[in-house]
Every structure is written in C-alpha cells, then in structure tokens.
Amino acid sequence: MAIKLVVFDIAGTTVKDDHEVSKAFQAAMKKSGYEVEIAKIDPLMGYEKTLAIRKMLHEHEPDTALITDDLVNTIHKEFVQQMINFYQFEPGIEPLPHVEETLTALRAAGVQVGINTGFSRDIADTIVTRLQWREKGLIDHVVGSDEVELGRPHPYMIQKMMNEGGITDPLEVAKVGDTEVDVREGQNAGCRYVIGVTTGIFSRAELETYNPTHIIDDIAQVIDIINQ
C-alpha cells in the first residue's frame, strides 16, 4: 500500500531550532513571575502550547487556584508574540539539511506533504511565509494546534489533513517528528510509519523509549522508508 501523505513537524524536524522555542517559552513564563529551567521545558516541545503552559504552571505554582485561564492565556499571548517576532525578523531561520529536497521529491512522486505543529496557526503561517514554502510548491497542508479540538498527542491534526486530502486509511500516512508527542500523535492516528528524527530536542535513545517504527538522523531517509 502506497503512502499518500507524509506529515512533518516544524521546529527541530524541518526547521532549525537551537532551543529557541524553549527560550521563548521560558521568557513568557518569566514575564508572569515563573522561573523555569530550559531542561524542564524541552521535553514539552511538540505539545499544544497552552497545554504545555498548564503543565509548567502545575509544577511551579503551588496554589492551583491561581492557575486560571486568564493566566494561561496571558503567558500564551506573550509566547506567540515572541515567536512571531523571532520567525519574522531574526537571521538564521532556515530549513534543516535536505528538508526542501525531500519535500520536493515527495511531491514529485505524487505524495501529499503536510506540516503540523504544537504552535498556533499564526506562528506556523509566519514560518511558512518566511521560508516561502507555498511559493516554492513544497507543501499541501498546514495545520496549527489551535485549529483542532485537541493538539498532540491526539490525532486530530493528522486526521484534518487526511480529510482535506481525501485520504481515509491511516496506513497510507507517515508521520515524522522529533519529540515524544510527535511519535505518540502518529501512533494514535494509526499511521503506517511513525518516524522519529534526531535533529531536534530528543536524542535517539530518548526517541527509542516511545517505539517509533523508525528513527533517522537525516530527513532524506524518509524517502527510502516510504518506498520500501
């Protein structure tokens, strides 16, 4: 059975990320009075960001009555603004090695390419616009975590792309990402291939814990996997 759709994460999978997302998360938390170590934030990358904020607050705010929707939304708004500014204006925003060549090869072979993320759609669009991936004809779908009922590890972002692409069988889908929740998202969606990539936050040993079908060090290996 041929793969008809490959879904890629953004930061750490297709786009270079030197802990910049974690640093923005850290700064947004600090602005509301919470000091959080980067080492505590990194494992939450890939999660829908308001969920990640709630997880951090429950670790750093002993009075749970203070963990309100207003507080979460305030922190998230600050995070979004920092991320949009970063991806719009900072130098060095670039795809990871072999990413654009891989996306080109997939689409040339008739495979749909989707990008999904724990970011909200406005951040995702900022990145895609900066890299000109629509103009280059590299992607078919973009889905942010705020466009579905629940973000990762739930399968809804992948299912949204399947619906948009006319795909009904998850065994015709592959998921590629660099975090625990990327792997779990692909597993929960029933994807034929769930591919962990070591270019982001999680090491090979850490990814192995979550039992992806494959772990790769170079995104170009996706082509070989789906052609096997």
Q: What is the pLDDT of residues 66-113, one digit of tens each?
A: 999 999 999 999 999 999 999 999 888 999 999 999 999 999 999 999
Domains belonging to the chain, first-starting first, are: 5-17+96-226 (3.40.50.1000), 20-89 (1.10.150)
Of 174, 179, 172, which Cα lies nearest the Cα of 145? Answer: 179
What's the pTM?
0.91
Q: Within 10 A of 184 (CB to CB), how many other CB atoms are there?
A: 21
Cβ neighbours for 54, distance < 8 A, ≥ 6 positions apart: 67, 72
Locate 207 and state its tokens: 């990814």
> pLDDT tens, 97-154?
999 999 999 999 999 999 999 999 999 999 999 999 999 999 999 999 999 999 999 9
